Structure 1
Amino acid sequence: MQIVVAGQGYVGLPLAVRAAEVGHRVVGYDVDPHRVQQLAAGHSYVRDVDSPRLRAVLDSGAYSATADAAALAGFDIAVITVPTPLRDGVPDLTYIESCAWTLGEHLRPGATVVLESTSYPGTTEELLLPLLEETSGLKGGADFLAGFSPERIGNKRWSFDGTPKLVSGIDAKSLDVIKNFYDGIFQTTMPVSGPKVAELAKLLENTFRFVNISMINEMAMLADALGVNIWEAIDAAATKPFGFTKFTPGRGIPVSGSQILLLGLTYKYDATDLRNSPSARVAELLIGLGAEVRGAEPNIPDGDDTELNVPRVDASPEEVAAADAVVLLMDHPRFDLAMIEKHAPYVLDCRNRLSGANVETL
């Protein structure tokens, strides 16, 4: 089948590559031309897909990357894996809306659209479906199929295809087609009665982790006041074979007194100019809160950064590991993103380029 995976980040790229490996013809669509350039050159920036795997599906012709929407024509199944970042506690659905308009222009009778991006229950049927119908002039269920299947990326123990996959459809035919597609990619698929159930299940998964890590962070502060080793206490509680799930503290520390490493200080991607760069203001605000701020900028020689007023360092594994928090402001090609993922205790990713349990995306 001809598959489109819209969004080639840490969710979309593993799906696209795996779909190509099992025999589909896959177009990886992304609006970021730099990402597309890297992918076309066989360079993976996602931990779950190494560059040799990417090059293999490129060389076979099963996978191609593009920023040209015209390449989406004729798809059988399109999967939306665009980000939905929180803005003031509410998911920003701009990327879903834009993708729906684009896919709707190429939607044909009999095709299927699947949403994987995390959002509130009702997004598939109340937002995505009407946009697709309005743009294409087709009717969901009657002319084309649709559903929701939440991503489950980011666990080091479970493989991508070994993680059970929830699937849903707007009707029985949609569910059947979507399940058959994912059956060929994942070892186990779990159908549910409708998109709202799958959407709520994803929120339950995320909320469960958030609430428990927040509780553990509070317990860590209590343990410190009591002079108790929180890690030993957690390991002790985890010996109980039922009724307890092990969670460990996150980076729940104050900004004041923390060592923060800023990566990429120029005003735009791969530039050599600091003028009008927001990094100076970011550094100023963090210093005002009491943080110890350092900056890494491989494109600017030492001495040409007087307006930044922060110490310059190299983005080495040692510097990255020593920081309490790493902030990726610009994803310059000279940065080793895989190394940053591996060594940073915590990363605030402002470019949506990294993944993992230690990464939070702005």
Structure 2
Amino acid sequence: MLSKIAIIGLGYVGLPLAQLFLQNHHTVYGIDYDVKKIESINKGKSYLSDFQDEDIEGMVQTGNFQAGNSYEVISKAEVIILCVPTPLSEDETPDISYIKNAIYKSLPFLKEGQLVILESSTYPGTTEEIIVPLISQNKEFSIGKDFHIAYSPERIDPGQKQFGLEDIPKIVGGVTQKCTERAKSIYETIFKSVVTVSSPKVAEMSKLVENTQRLINISFMNELAIFCDEMDINLWEVINACSTKPFGFTPYFPGPGIGGHCIPVDPLYLLWKAEKHHFELTSIKVAHETNQKMPQFVVEKIAKHIKKPLSTANIFVIGVTYKKDVNDVRESKALDILTSLVELGSKVDYHDPFIPQISIKDSELQSIPLSTEKLRAADCTLILTDHSNIDYDMILEKSNLIIDTRNAMKNKKHLGKVVLL
């Protein structure tokens, strides 16, 4: 069954989804407010680290892909999928303005027989409490009969190469059974496995639980990293030892703080919803607090090991993205660390092959090449992101001191100059 699909939001979720639909011969209308993204697509240029220019060119060359800013194409579509951002507000509460805005702009073009699916990570109840009323109050549709609405959480993990998008089981929960069946039939054309659940709330909760589990476990390791530093214990060695047990232990690893658009954000959506029900999820609170402490711990670690005040220190940072091999700095704790170092008076330079420029304290920093001169001139080389395409042998040989927050030097002889998180 080939369909015409409108995808709203062409970022880390929407663009790979569009590609998968196109590979299976569907027609895709891509919509994004970012003019630069649309221009890049039409020029055959990629703006995602997981995509090559050839991927974009291949999508355009199918003849079945149209990308633009106008919502009018929704009138041509049978399925509308929302892949818009769901960030946190300044007070760390859910910001669902992008979802609402997408629905408002879609309303004039919605018609009987269509299916709307939300994929953005959000709190349980969003589909039924926000999307259904917005559509029902403006359109005389009978949900589940002549119009269908469902939720299906995106489960993309930028940077990982082990599983293709089509290999990741797709969870679907519709407002009615008919909505679920309709959404399932669409996703079955592109995913190898589709898992149906009883409601949108179950599907919404499943995404938050996946990422909340990771926040809690990684934050636990970060808390242990602080404690092991006091005890002079190598936590990485401890984790390796624990991992030899063939059952019952899942390794999680510490770092400079969890970033990205999912793990540090989604649990706070769940926390907010729980508080609305007068329920306190204390484990999320503690994990969030631990995660927020990590940048300061890293700064203190540098101060402890260099031989001069931070106000006169020269720090060379390796990697500023929230995880390896992606070009995404959303919620990256590396930026918090750089900001603190600059505020303390340190001279800070950075190298990141994925991020040519960043803004720190109203100043623009440019990524500089990894060189012998830069490494030798720095009082400390600080590894915040362990990108794969970094010459760690050169860093080890030429640096005076290395603070390694990612255990990037795990297979190298440390020569006494490497300090682990």
- Over 3 Å counting, the alpha-carbon distance change for 1:340 and 1:132 in structure 2 is farther
Q: Measure the CA separation in 2 of the matches of 1:342 and 1:113.
A: 40
10, 13, 16: which one aligns with 2:15: 13
The correspondence of residues 211-226 of structure 1 with structure 2, limited to 5 A, is: 211-226=216-231
The correspondence of residues 260-271 of structure 1 with structure 2, limited to 5 A, is: none
Percent of aligned pairs with the same amino acid: 35
What amino acid is the match of 2:232?
G
Compute the displacement of 1:180 (Å): 1.1
62, 71, 77: which one aligns with 1:69: 71
Contact 2:356 2:366 in 1 (8 A): no
What amino acid is the match of 1:121?
P
- Over 3 Å counting, the alpha-carbon distance change for 1:230 and 1:120 in structure 2 is same
User: Over the residues paired in the alignment, what is the CA RMSD in angstroms?
Assistant: 3.2
- Over 3 Å counting, the alpha-carbon distance change for 1:221 and 1:131 in structure 2 is same
312, 331, 343: which one aligns with 1:288: 343
2:278 pairs with 1:254: no
Between 1:202-211 and 1:247-256, the stretch displaced more is 247-256
Q: Measure the CA separation in 1 of the matches of 2:143 and 2:6.
A: 18
Between 1:83-92 and 1:95-104, the stretch displaced more is 83-92
245, 253, 272: which one aligns with 2:250: 245
Compute the displacement of 1:287 (Å): 2.4
Q: Measure the CA separation in 1 of the matches of 2:29 and 2:118.
A: 16
68, 93, 98: which one aligns with 1:95: 98
Structure 1 unaligned runs (5+)?
A: 264-281, 300-306, 327-338, 344-357
- Over 3 Å counting, the alpha-carbon distance change for 1:97 and 1:316 in structure 2 is farther
Q: Measure the CA separation in 1 of the matches of 2:165 and 2:74.
A: 25
Contact 2:174 2:200 in 1 (8 A): yes
Q: Measure the CA separation in 2 of the matches of 1:160 and 1:75.
A: 23
163, 170, 174: which one aligns with 2:168: 163
2:217 pairs with 1:197: no
Aligned equivalent of 1:54: 56
Q: Measure the CA separation in 1 of the matches of 2:78 and 2:177.
A: 18
Q: Measure the CA separation in 2 of the matches of 1:169 and 1:212.
A: 31
- CA-to-aligned-CA distance 1:265-307 (integer Å, 9 cap, x gap): xxxxxxxxxxxxxxxxx987762256653489989xxxxxxx9
Contact 2:22 2:62 in 1 (8 A): no
Q: Measure the CA separation in 2 of the matches of 1:90 and 1:32.
A: 24
Q: Measure the CA separation in 2 of the matches of 1:193 and 1:308.
A: 49
Q: Measure the CA separation in 2 of the matches of 1:340 and 1:240.
A: 28
Q: Measure the CA separation in 2 of the matches of 1:95 and 1:309.
A: 29
Compute the displacement of 1:133 (Å): 2.3
2:181 pairs with 1:126: no
Compute the displacement of 1:165 (Å): 1.1
Contact 2:22 2:64 in 1 (8 A): yes
Compute the displacement of 1:161 (Å): 1.0
Contact 2:169 2:192 in 1 (8 A): yes
Structure 2 unaligned runs (5+)?
A: 258-293, 303-314, 321-336, 375-380, 391-405, 407-421
Q: TM-score, normalised by structure 1?
A: 0.75
Between 1:20-29 and 1:138-147, the stretch displaced more is 138-147
What amino acid is the match of 1:60?
T
Q: Measure the CA separation in 1 of the matches of 2:388 and 2:120.
A: 22
The correspondence of residues 211-360 of structure 1 with structure 2, limited to 5 A, is: 211-252=216-257, 253-255=294-296, 256=299, 257=302, 287-289=342-344, 292-294=347-349, 313-316=366-369, 324=383
Q: Measure the CA separation in 1 of the matches of 2:143 and 2:347.
A: 54
Compute the displacement of 1:219 (Å): 1.1
- CA-to-aligned-CA distance 1:173-231 (integer Å, 9 cap, x gap): 11111111111111111110110001111110010000000000111122222222211
What amino acid is the match of 1:189?
V
What amino acid is the match of 2:71?
A
What amino acid is the match of 1:129?
V
110, 130, 145: which one aligns with 1:142: 145
61, 84, 87: which one aligns with 2:86: 84
The structure whose residues are more often helix, as a share, is 2
Task: Give the aligned length.
Answer: 306
Q: Measure the CA separation in 1 of the matches of 2:248 and 2:38.
A: 46
What amino acid is the match of 1:15?
L
- Over 3 Å counting, the alpha-carbon distance change for 1:190 and 1:283 in structure 2 is closer
- Over 3 Å counting, the alpha-carbon distance change for 1:315 and 1:167 in structure 2 is farther
What amino acid is the match of 1:24?
H
Q: TM-score, normalised by structure 2?
A: 0.65
Compute the displacement of 1:259 (Å): 5.6
Whichever of the two has the greater Rg, that structure is 2
